[in-house]
Chains A and B, each alone.
Chain A
């Protein structure tokens, strides 16, 4: 089944054209990476799929539900992690997970979901401390745990390792890989092309609001005769 179907998606902010007619599909159970430099339109695309932004033209369907006409149905099936997300500073990590879990479950299921979240975060005993005492890495892991603990059919992760050091980034990547193995779909964006290459089954290269090319990392590397996705991207930009 198709998890995401985007057709001729255009998004304008006033006179700024953030997306200029992009199309791609993501199959269920797939990790799909959007790669491109800052300002390419990755975050805009993810925010539209997450029902945060309105569409100027084109269509976006998530598990067959139109994000414009049926945003509530879409929100039931997604979990979005923004790039610059934060958590409520006056709550403890556990309270934060508990607050979020209540939107997806009831009673014992909430407890179970929170336990899953605590395990994903790896925060151990620090989970009962207030969020304002956490380091940036700890907060990001808490947020990743929040996004994945309810095992959503589709996780939308914008720069999931943003601001993390090498060790924390590696841990988060492992968490995402493990999550996808359970059958969930992941749509992620990153300007770290090596990260996307490591994580993704399929990749779309995006630049200045357009999809430059797409395919599996192996296909793309063969197509451009490149060693890695960074070289693929530079070649793709040069061909435009």
Chain B
């Protein structure tokens, strides 16, 4: 095994056996996120299947019967008929029956609708906790009542103006959206296309941010551990080039960071999957010719790789100045976070729509470029992607050069920043 590989393998072994890294960065995301998602999903499903509602009818008219029949036929509602004679008794009865919502149809409900004066229904939410199921039950009532209300409007319109389509009265203006993308017109509203591109490009900045923070923290920990455990000096006097030491440490850290990121992404995907309860977008990017080509994927991968390498080198340099792991992690967080976070705005806003000064700040930050590339490769705008890669290459090479220089001098041993403690005088 060559000396670079010897250091790389040792680095991986050492990091993987560190309980803080193994549990905190690999096991917890794989277990905690899916478990959280599962619990959230279970909470939603418990109310999504059927919402138990109680109803008491003090009106006993035509429209109250229509209302109750519609409720009974709603697949999301399990109806319980309350037989009490007063509202107070009805509430007690509903609570006893473990019903979450009680609907009270007051006397005069039918006549109010017939006279077009507008009718009221009293909704009693019987809250036993403030969990997600209570919130969703209340939302379900609003949705069901809205639907029944519209159905009644249609019935009334048909009764008052026979032969007319009630839909045309309730919604006299309808819109049909078209979007022209890269010269191709598709019958889909632009908001939907924007949502689609954002949903596709959202994952890149999120994953990138996680990877960069993982890589930076792990690289800082790896270097600072050598200093804290007093192993660095021995390592630097071994018959191996300083560049091999730096490369071996960076390589080992990068491999473990990728494993940690994959664990995080898998766990996070399970978690996010639990929230997908809305309607799905009825169109894919392929349908409108916005596919990422193999070249686009390749360029995006290079852009992400370069950003990770830049973070790795930057963290190594910063950690060289510290004396212990805690100082290294703090210094890296304070330095790299401000370089990563501004790029998150690109998830929601287009680069060219931002104020000019802010646009150039984002372009100057190395970690913005993979996020810019994620959207640009979908639109086939390879120029800005290549520009970003070139900028990242220059930045990364610069940082790597500084890291290599620092490793070749005594600064790797003597440079020190300690948080809250004075450095010791050299002997």
Name A's B-contacting residues (CB within 8 A).
13, 16, 18, 38-44, 47, 50-54, 72, 75-76, 78-82, 84-91, 95, 99-100, 102-104, 143, 146
Contact A104 B239 (CB under 8 A): yes
Question: Which stretch in B119-127, B375-383, B408-416 binds the other chain?
Answer: B408-416
Asked if B426 and A16 sit within 8 Å, CB to CB, the answer is yes
Which of B3, B234, B238, B413 has the most chain A CB within a 10 Å cutoff?
A: B234
- A90 in contact with B231 (CB, 8 Å): no
B128 / chain A contacts, CB cutoff of 8 Å: none
Q: Which residue of A has the minimal Cβ distance to B233?
A: A82
Confirm or deny: B168 has a beta carbon within 8 angstroms of a beta carbon on chain A: no
**Is B239 a contact partner of A52 (Cβ separation < 8 A)?**
no
B359 close to A (CB within 8 Å): no
Q: Is B291 an interface residue (CB 8 A)?
A: no
Q: Which residues of B are found within 8 Å of A43, using beta-carbon distances?
A: 426-427
Cα of A13 to Cα of B17 in the assembled complex, Å: 37
- Cα of A153 to Cα of B399 in the assembled complex, Å: 37
How distant is A48 from chain B, measured CB to nearest CB, in Å?
9
- 26 residue pairs from A and B, CB less than 8 Å apart: A18-B426, A39-B427, A42-B427, A44-B427, A50-B233, A50-B237, A53-B410, A54-B409, A54-B410, A72-B239, A72-B241, A75-B240, A80-B233, A81-B234, A82-B233, A84-B230, A86-B229, A87-B231, A88-B229, A90-B13, A91-B10, A91-B13, A91-B17, A95-B13, A99-B6, A103-B6
Q: Taking the nearest CB of chain B, how far is it from the CB of A91, in angstroms?
A: 7
Does B231 contact A102, Cβ atoms closer than 8 Å? no
Q: Does B14 contact A (CB under 8 A)?
A: yes
Whether B237 pairs with A80 at a CB distance below 8 angstroms is yes
> Could you list which residues of chain B lie within 8 angstroms of chain A, going by C-beta atoms?
1, 3, 6, 10, 13-14, 17-18, 229-231, 233-234, 236-241, 409-410, 413-414, 425-427
**Chain B residues in 8 Å Cβ range of A72:** 239, 241
Most buried by B among A43, A52, A72, A76: A52
CA distance A205 to B1 in the complex (A): 44
Residue of B nearest to A39 (CB): B427
Q: With the chains together, A44 CA to B410 CA distance in Å? A: 12
Q: How far is the CA of A84 from the CA of B232 in the complex (A)?
A: 11
A102–B6 CB distance below 8 A? yes
- Decide: A99 and B427 in contact? CB cutoff 8 A: no
Q: How far is the CA of A89 from the CA of B240 in the complex (A)?
A: 22
> How many angstroms between the C-alpha atoms of A20 and B237 in the bound complex?
24
Which residues of the partner chain B approach A42 to less than 8 Å between Cβ atoms?
427
A109–B148 Cα distance when bound, in Å, is 85
| Alpha-carbon distance between A84 and B1 when the two chains are bound, in angstroms | 29
- Judge whether B230 and A86 touch: CB under 8 Å: yes
Shortest Cβ distance from B18 into A: residue: A90
- By beta carbon, the residue of chain A nearest B411 is A54
> With a CB–CB cut-off of 8 A, which chain A residues contact B414?
13, 53
Closest 4 CB pairs of A and B: A90-B17, A86-B230, A86-B229, A80-B237
Complex: A102 Cα to B6 Cα, angstroms: 7
Q: How far is the CA of A96 from the CA of B3 in the complex (A)?
A: 15
Report how far A198 CA is from B14 CA in the complex, Å.
39
**Bound Cα distance from A228 to B206, whole angstroms:** 69
* B237 touches which of A52, A88, A102 (Cβ 8 Å): A52
Most central of A38, A88, A146 by chain B CB within 10 Å: A88
Knowing that A39-B425, A85-B231 touch, tell me 17 more A-B residue pairs with CB under 8 angstroms: A16-B426, A43-B427, A50-B233, A50-B237, A51-B237, A75-B237, A78-B237, A79-B237, A80-B233, A80-B237, A86-B229, A87-B231, A88-B229, A90-B17, A95-B13, A103-B239, A104-B239
Assuming the A-B contacts A52-B237, A52-B413, are A88 and B14 also in contact, with contact meaning beta carbons closer than 8 angstroms in the complex?
yes
Q: How far apart sit A177 and B139, CA to CA, in the bound complex (Å)?
A: 84
A52 near B229 with CB under 8 A, answer: no
Q: Cβ of B410 and Cβ of A103 under 8 Å apart?
A: no
Residues of B within 8 A of A89 (CB): 229
Contact A38 B427 (CB under 8 A): yes
Verify A75–B229 contact, CB threshold 8 A: no
Q: Which residues of A contact B413 (CB under 8 A)?
A: 47, 52-53
The verdict on A91 contacting B426 (CB below 8 Å), with A76-B239, A82-B230 known, is no
A147 to chain B, nearest CB (A): 8
Q: Which residues of A contact B409 (CB under 8 A)?
A: 54
Residues of B within 8 A of A78 (CB): 237
Establish whether residues B6 and A13, one from each chain, have CB atoms under 8 Å apart when the complex forms. Answer: no
Of the candidates B14, B237, B427, which one forms a contact with A90 in the assembled complex, judged by CB atoms under 8 Å apart? B14
Chain A residues with CB under 8 Å of B14's CB are 88, 90-91
Cα A43 to Cα B230 in complex, Å, equals 14
Q: By the criterion CB–CB under 8 Å, are A44 and B230 in contact?
A: no
